[in-house]
Amino acid sequence: MLPPLVSLFSGLAVPVRFALKHHKDSDEHAKQVRDAYDRICKFAEQYEAHQKGHLSGDGATAVGKDDTPITKSYSAGEQRVEELRRSLSDSRVVEVDEKAWHREYHFTNDLRRTEKHTSPPGRMKRLVWELSILRTSIPEGIFVRHHSDRLDAMTFLIVGPAGTPYENGLFEFDLFCPMDYPQSPPYVFFRTSPPDRKFNPNLYNNGLVCLSLLGSWEGPSWDPENSTLLQLLVSLQAMVFTESPLWNEPGLETTLTPLHSRVYNVEVRADTTRYALAEWLTKLNSGELEFSPWREVVAAHFELRWEEIVEAVERWEADQPGDEVRLPNQREKSQEGLKMAAYTTHRAPARFKEGIRMLEEGSGLRKMEC
């Protein structure tokens, strides 16, 4: 059954409320737009208040075909899961004020340097529109925090997709839209990285993100008229965090073998365990995330996905190549694939052990077998 038309106002009100807050124009047309926005918000508030009246006790009450109330009961555990899912869904895009802004934001100097600059015509309107689109269209597994006063400053978190060596890992990026945005693409910096290795052919340990939309990779470049922040984030999630990331590097399929890809995945899984899972849990429990915009997301993620995380890490640790692993030969050493082939030195066991120990110490939920 299709939802009632009035229910659509609730979803529409999300970007509308945001646009109202940041809408600066003052001409007659702008006044008419604001009046329309106000009416949408009022309809949404009435519908949301009406819906709350249908919730009672330990279950949710709905109306059947004959207008008979139908009550579905939930256990405490099921209710908690639903609360966590709703919390994560509602917090995909959130505005963060100055006091709570990311203390280690990579583009702080850019913010200071442009603080007194006048934004070019259309730039702020474009940013308001972009963030409104993100609020309604951002897919599951991506979270965005933007500065309340500087809409050009953002930080975002991508959850590693299921079935990849990044599964359930939390990967953090900082983003800044330069003063000539959208004529130029945003700057992006990768924060979640091992100290001495790349997490991916597209993600360097010095923070460099290689993507065609950013002008740092082969492929379609940034188009000021058609490219969006939503497109950028979805491209990162879908095209970088893949099942076989070694093949993201052009030309390696002619130099390396499926065995190289398998070993590469083992190494990435070990890094995901150590740096994109265990490190976040350690920081959460130690209080290091107290002033981070990600504290609530990280806490909800681990509580909701804990059993999946444990199952995946145990499966990953057990699935490691043995004697068939070899070092790259001379032909490979002379090819572009050297730095990728070097992963066949197979250094994963130590990082798995360290990551599992950190998860074990931080969980308080379940003993993981090493």
Q: Tell me the domain boundaries of the chain.
A: 1-57, 246-363
pLDDT higher for 27 or 120?
A: 120
The DSSP bridge partners found for residue 61 are 71
The Cα–Cα gap between 190 and 276 comes to 12
pLDDT tens string 198-231: 899 999 999 999 999 999 888 889 999 999 999 9
**Where does residue 90 rank: exposed (0-12), middle (13-18), buried (19+ CB within 10 A)?**
exposed
Catalytic pick among 41, 177, 210, 370: 210
The dihedral of CA 313, 369, 88, 130: what is its sign?
negative
The Cα–Cα gap between 178 and 118 comes to 12
Residue 110: CB atoms within 10 Å: 18
The predicted pLDDT at position 159 comes to: 98
Structure tokens at 20: 């109202």
**Radius of gyration from C-alpha coordinates of the chain:** 24
370 is known as an active-site residue: no
Please report where in the chains the tokens 């997301």 appear, as a residue.
297
| 267-288 average pLDDT score | 95
Q: For residue 197, what pLDDT band results from cuts at 50, 70 and 90?
A: confident
- What does residue 50 show for φ and ψ, rounded to 5 degrees? -65, -40
Q: Is residue 356 within 8 Å of 279, Cβ to Cβ?
A: no
Buried/exposed code over 149-162 (b: 16+ C-beta within 10 A; e: otherwise)? ebbbbbbbbbbbbe
In the chain, the N- to C-terminal Cα span, in Å, equals 49
The predicted pLDDT at position 370 comes to: 36
Average pLDDT, the chain: 81
